[in-house]
Amino acid sequence: MEQSFDLPDSTDWLDTPVSLLAPLESSLRCQVCKDFFDTPVITSCSHTFCSLCIRRCLSTEGKCPTCRSGDQELKLRRNWLVQEILEAFQNARESVLTLAKKEAARIAAGTTEDPEPPHKKRRLREDSEDQEVHGTENGPQGVRTRSQTQVVQAPAAGRDHGRTSGSLEVVEDSQDEDCEPGDGTVACPICARRMKNEAVFAHLDSCTGNSNPVANPASNNPSSFGSLRPPARQMPISPSKAPERLPAMNYSLLKDTQLRKKFRDLGIPNWGPRQLLQRRHIEWMNLWNANCDSSFPKSKRALLRELDVWERTQGGLAPTQSSLGQTAAVMAKDFDTAQWSVNHGTDFKRLIENARKKSEAQVRSTISGVKPTSEQGDMPVDRLAEPPVEDEAEGLRAARWEPQIPDNMP
């Protein structure tokens, strides 16, 4: 979590001489997640968001978050230009920021012996680029961000294979990967799908993107065409993974069992009460369809992992003692007693165990011997009789009373 706090942000520019880049950067960020656009799409009202963000908004509210005019997911269109601008900006960001910070530090230090800041800038840029780019003997001019990185992307994709490309632009490449929403994934040299580093070789055995996978990875590498379209076309690896959009479901027309069967067919968890099933399906639909928009679609496994994160943060496995009353939106009638008991069974057992021990001990030590008859009845009396055991009494009370809740549920 600590390194998340180093999130790059538009405010990074503020204390530099190029603070005017801050508004540029913030307009390349999605207003909903505040991150750089991931697969930007444009609404009918011409506002741009990440595909996933706007899908989530539309599925909860059906309105554009910016202007609140109604819209539908089906009307979303890719915003290629924004994506291109963003890619160019991200490629340049680190070096420009480094430069800007150096400049800021120089100004702060008061070393003003250089009277020509623009000129100096140009030279610094060359220096810093030459440090980053190993072994580039061509192009002595500093201005070569976009075209350079495009050329480099092709070998970079195949780099896991044979390290054939001499000029390893490690810096640029890793930077690109950081921009991916995923987690340090690499592209399969054949189908360009992104996956975990260690998964690549296993995947290559089954990858049908090419009949002869290892022989000639560069020739059919799609990224020679710019990084935008081709991977989507090369994506289908097995029929089940074809990026076909999921249609909305009319939940009210389906019985519970039918719904659960559909979930099984989709390959997503089908436990929990109906309301949770609906929410889960909506999230899955959003994840899936946003992934269909993506230039670098993730595998279904990756999407399932994201669904799992959702499940643990907002879904059925989310911590229930949320600080906010509003999140306790699970109505009594939807309360899944069985699931609750399963999830918290061990806790309950432990608490009950502790409580039993405690109460036995107390019964023995209480001289007054007030009828410890019923399990619940003796509680308050015990507490009266023996107030000093603070923490234990607290635990005891919890043990006695909390576990009762699910049983009392309808």
Partner 1 sequence: MASSVAQKRLFHEYKNLSTNPPEGITAGPVSEDDMFYWEALIEGPGGTPFEGGVFAAELKFPKDYPLSPPTMKFVSGGVWHPNVYPNGTVCISILHPPGDDPNHYEHASERWSPIQSVEKILISVMSMLAEPNDESPANVEAAKMWRERRSEYEQKVRDEVRKGLGL
34 makes contact with partner 1 (CB under 8 A) = yes
11 makes contact with partner 1 (CB under 8 A) = yes
Minimum Å gap between C-beta 73 and partner 1 is 15
17 makes contact with partner 1 (CB under 8 A) = no
**In the complex with partner 1, which residue's Cβ is closer, 279 or 400?**
279
Q: Which of 109, 324, 331, 338 is the binder for partner 1 (CB under 8 A)?
A: 324
Q: Which of 141, 174, 327, 404 is the binder for partner 1 (CB under 8 A)?
A: 327
Contact letters for partner 1, residues 43-82 (x by CB under 8 A): ----------x--xx--xx-x-xx-x--------------
323 makes contact with partner 1 (CB under 8 A) = yes
Site for partner 1 in 361-380 (CB under 8 A): none
Q: CA 228, 233, 236 angle in degrees (round to 5)?
A: 130
Contact letters for partner 1, residues 152-191 (x by CB under 8 A): -------------------------------x--------
- Please tell me the distance from the alpha carbon of residue 173 to that of residue 179, in angstroms, as a whole number: 10
320 makes contact with partner 1 (CB under 8 A) = no
Minimum Å gap between C-beta 271 and partner 1 is 19
How, if at all, do strands 40-42 and 48-50 pair? antiparallel
Minimum Å gap between C-beta 337 and partner 1 is 22
- Please tell me the distance from the alpha carbon of residue 258 to that of residue 49, in angstroms, as a whole number: 34
- Number of residues in contact with partner 1 under rule CB under 8 A: 36
**Within 13 Å and on the Cβ side, how many CA atoms surround 15?**
10
Q: Which of 27, 197, 313, 376 is the binder for partner 1 (CB under 8 A)?
A: 313
7 makes contact with partner 1 (CB under 8 A) = yes
Minimum Å gap between C-beta 170 and partner 1 is 24
Crossing angle, helix 390-401 and helix 337-365, to 10 degrees? 140
Minimum Å gap between C-beta 35 and partner 1 is 7
Token reading at 101: 């910070």
- Please tell me the distance from the alpha carbon of residue 140 to that of residue 171, in angstroms, as a whole number: 19
Residue 182's Cβ-count burial label (10 Å; 0-12, 13-18, 19+) is middle
Name residues whose C-beta falls within 8 Å of residue 280's C-beta, 6 or more positions apart in sequence: 263, 268, 269, 272, 307, 310, 311, 315, 316
Q: Which of 17, 31, 126, 167 is the binder for partner 1 (CB under 8 A)?
A: 31
Instruction: Tell me if 54 sits within 8 A of 17, measured CB to CB.
Output: no
3-state SS, 152-173, equals HHHHHHCCCCCCCCCCCCHHHH
- Please tell me the distance from the alpha carbon of residue 45 to that of residue 331, in angstroms, as a whole number: 36
Token reading at 316: 């059925």
For residue 308, the surrounding DSSP H or E stretch is: helix 300-313
Minimum Å gap between C-beta 14 and partner 1 is 6
**In the complex with partner 1, which residue's Cβ is closer, 66 or 175?**
66
Q: Which of 301, 312, 350, 357 is the binder for partner 1 (CB under 8 A)?
A: 312
Task: State the residues that interact with partner 1 by CB under 8 A.
Answer: 1-2, 4-5, 7, 9-11, 14, 31-35, 53, 56-57, 60-61, 63, 65-66, 68, 183, 305, 309-310, 312-314, 318, 322-324, 326-327
